[in-house]
Structure 1
Amino acid sequence: MKSTIYKISFIATAIPIRLLASVTGQKAIFPFYHLISDDNVAHIKHLYPVRSTKAFEKDLDFFLKNYNPVELDVFFKLAKSGKFPKKNIFLLTFDDGLSQFYDVIAPILQRKGVPAICFLNSAFIDNKDLFFRYKASLLIDKIINKPLSLTQEKEIRKIFVDNSILIRDNTQAILSIDYAKRSLLDDCANILALDFSDYLNTQKPYLSSNQIQELRNKGFEFGAHSIDHPLYSQLDQAEQIRQTKISVNDISESFNIQQRLFSFPFSDVGVKKDFFDTIFDTSHSIADITFGCSGLKKDICNLNIQRIPIEIEQFSAKQIVYGEYWYYILKMLVNKNVLKR
């Protein structure tokens, strides 16, 4: 439904954002991306659309025209107090700690005077390991560029069948592999002679510790994004808390970060209120603020901030933000704008 609203949102873009923000009471928005690049990024290209630098700058111009960029300290005080901002504000965030944040994104943001938070998976910093979905994209890229031999096809199909993956299309079968079965991606890579370690060493898809510290010195903020990027709804609560605690502690201690920020990998859908009660328990809190990605929406857990995903098909930030406001207004009619847990 949202995609349809994004498509037709241009009809109502003559209505000022300030009016929509006033009607909905949503004067703060939290757009998020993963990376910006003009290159062909093999570990991303088969997962979601990559924003070009030109499209990103156009997005930023839209945000800056309609909202004031906010520093983390200001946002932190607002979030902790539960107060609404008097002016429209936006806080930009980026997930996965990819190297393009250093090479491409930060220089653009500095030039335009926009602060941002980058969320890191503690297991991937310094290119120590690779997110299982990125492995899937690399496998697909390998198959497309070099079709499987009959022997390879037979061996890979055996892996799928033995693990109850009955999808006939190899690409879709690879994309269906989840966190619990992620080792199968390594098995497939062995058959295809695809070396993930070599890719990490040569392409360096993630930020290094030195780059993170340099970006910190320039005013950019960082938070945690779990240890190795599982889908939280597929974990039991003990593992959800372990992933959160270890990653937040690692990031905070490694880079001397005071505010303990956390963004959920994939999504926070399905995460129960008990989880938030535990991590926000004032006697032994694990995080100060967390971030989901359900769009323009309130959360019954006030310190869990919902962000707006921008990497959706080829929609511009303008289309997405307008669409989010109109979707919010529709939901207002049935009182469905608060995430229950």
Structure 2
Amino acid sequence: MLIIANYHYLREDFSAPFPSIYGVTPAQFENQLKKLSKFGKFISQDELLEKPEKIEADNYFLITFDDGLKEQYELAKPILDKLGIPYIFFINTANFANQEVSLVHKVHLLRSKIAPEKLLGQIENKSLNSEEKKAAIVHYNYDSPENAILKYILNFKFNHIEQENFIEPIFDELFEEANLVKDLYFSDAMLLELAKKNVLGSHSHSHRPLGLLSKSEAEEELRFTQEFFRKRFGTTARSISYPYGSFNACEGITSLVKKAGFQIGFSMERAANESLDTDRLLLSRFDCNDLPGGKNDLFNGKNPFESAPIRKWNSYENSTINK
């Protein structure tokens, strides 16, 4: 069985006027890895692709990181190397090709400076019904209800252009984008080193929810990100982590993802993977906080391989064609 853990931010200090970024400290990260090692072994991207049958014979963890953040390299990688644990870093290629900050990170930064109620007050004609509010709170379960509703509206009720039009003017008043790109994301040297070690994957080109895009838009995202990998590293990416990771953000895209040359894909369905035989392009992952050693351990410190639900989204999605 395979259980995949996903991480984003790693910092010594997460204090901000308005909490908007939730991650782990290096000490918490190392402690969690040691706890997980009591329940299973760790597997690499190369092993998963070349010997997928291994996960049917034993219990494995795969450690993944989304967004290509410099702090992951500087704080997490040394711990992983010290413990001998393999990993995959997923990058949004527009950060490096266009020297731009992802819209999702602009949202995080704005939310750290401005109260969610104030931002919600500036949004017109985009309210949620009761079912959508429940879905928002479930999906963003580590956020306050106000932040969850704000994030749901921005990510799922706004289209990309509407989101940009709302966020960009506010962001530009408070931040300098060129400096942030250098501070937030991997350097060129880091990218090259990680590519040589076969531990880089794609998080799409510009961090847009692929399942909510038109077919042509999704194809463009996949083409751009693979072109970046090919030009920069001489080979295409083998793995992709779907931005946002919700069912809707992953729905109906696996045929396009396969056509683009990806061999494995990762959602954020909170579940374990019994096998890679049925569908390698919709592997499930747990947020790191859901696992033993996390802030909201769903398993109460017990062996997650004994009680984790088994992924189902791959059977629902059934490799349908993107709309």
In the alignment, structure 1 residue 53 sits paired with structure 2 residue 26: yes
1:78 is matched with which residue?
A: 51
Between the two proteins, the alignment pairs up a number of residues equal to 288
In the alignment, structure 1 residue 40 sits paired with structure 2 residue 24: no
2:75 is matched with which residue?
A: 104
Q: Displacement of 1:216 after TM fit?
A: 4.1
Q: Displacement of 1:98 after TM fit?
A: 0.4
Deviations 1:28-47 (A, max 9, x none): 22111112211237699514
1:66 is matched with which residue?
A: 39
In the alignment, structure 1 residue 182 sits paired with structure 2 residue 155: no
Deviations 1:175-198 (A, max 9, x none): 4323522221112235xx212415
Q: Displacement of 1:107 after TM fit?
A: 0.5
Q: Displacement of 1:125 after TM fit?
A: 2.6
Q: Displacement of 1:94 after TM fit?
A: 0.5
1:28 is matched with which residue?
A: 2
Q: Displacement of 1:59 after TM fit?
A: 1.1
CA contact (8 A) 2:268 2:285 kept: yes
Deviations 1:188-214 (A, max 9, x none): 235xx212415515x611112211123
Distance 1:318 1:245, change over 3 A: farther
Which residue identity does 1:262 align to in structure 2? Answer: I
2:255 is matched with which residue?
A: 277
Rounded to whole Å, the distance in 1 between the matches of 2:215 and 2:301 is: 33
Q: Displacement of 1:287 after TM fit?
A: 1.1
Rounded to whole Å, the distance in 2 between the matches of 1:75 and 1:43 is: 42
Rounded to whole Å, the distance in 1 between the matches of 2:121 and 2:246 is: 34
Alignment TM-score, normalising by the size of structure 1: 0.71
Rounded to whole Å, the distance in 2 between the matches of 1:45 and 1:198 is: 24
Distance 1:61 1:43, change over 3 A: farther
Which residue identity does 1:104 align to in structure 2? Answer: L
1:140 is matched with which residue?
A: 111
* 1:212 pairs with one of 191, 198, 209: 191
CA contact (8 A) 2:18 2:113 kept: no
Which residue identity does 1:328 align to in structure 2? Answer: P
CA contact (8 A) 2:264 2:280 kept: no
Rounded to whole Å, the distance in 1 between the matches of 2:63 and 2:213 is: 28
Q: Displacement of 1:301 after TM fit?
A: 2.6
Rounded to whole Å, the distance in 2 between the matches of 1:63 and 1:249 is: 36
1:249-288 to 2 correspondences below 5 Å: 249-257=227-235, 260-267=238-245, 269-270=247-248, 271-273=250-252, 275-281=253-259, 285-288=260-263
* 1:231 pairs with one of 195, 204, 209: 209
In the alignment, structure 1 residue 245 sits paired with structure 2 residue 223: yes
Which residue identity does 1:340 align to in structure 2? Answer: Y
Q: Find the residue that maps to 1:106 and give its secondary structure.
A: helix
Q: Displacement of 1:113 after TM fit?
A: 0.4
1:139-178 to 2 correspondences below 5 Å: 139-143=110-114, 160-161=123-124, 164-165=125-126, 175=151, 176-178=153-155
Rounded to whole Å, the distance in 1 between the matches of 2:313 and 2:209 is: 23
Which residue identity does 2:270 align to in structure 1? Answer: G
Rounded to whole Å, the distance in 2 between the matches of 1:268 and 1:174 is: 16
Q: Displacement of 1:112 after TM fit?
A: 0.4
* 1:315 pairs with one of 275, 283, 296: 296
Alignment TM-score, normalising by the size of structure 2: 0.75
Rounded to whole Å, the distance in 2 between the matches of 1:138 and 1:257 is: 33
2:180 is matched with which residue?
A: 200
Q: Find the residue that maps to 1:40 and give its secondary structure.
A: coil
CA contact (8 A) 1:136 1:185 kept: yes
Rounded to whole Å, the distance in 2 between the matches of 1:141 and 1:242 is: 32
Deviations 1:274-299 (A, max 9, x none): x3234325xxx521211112122458
1:21 is matched with which residue?
A: none
Which residue identity does 2:200 align to in structure 1? Answer: F
Rounded to whole Å, the distance in 1 between the matches of 2:26 and 2:237 is: 30
2:307 is matched with which residue?
A: 326
Distance 1:206 1:288, change over 3 A: same
Distance 1:59 1:278, change over 3 A: same
Distance 1:318 1:258, change over 3 A: farther
Deviates most, 88-97 or 132-141 = 132-141
Q: Displacement of 1:261 after TM fit?
A: 1.2
Rounded to whole Å, the distance in 2 between the matches of 1:124 and 1:292 is: 21
Rounded to whole Å, the distance in 1 between the matches of 2:67 and 2:314 is: 27
Structure with larger Rg: 1
Which ranges in structure 2 are unaligned for 5 or more consecutive residues?
129-144, 318-323
Deviations 1:10-29 (A, max 9, x none): xxxxxxxxxxxxxxxxx222
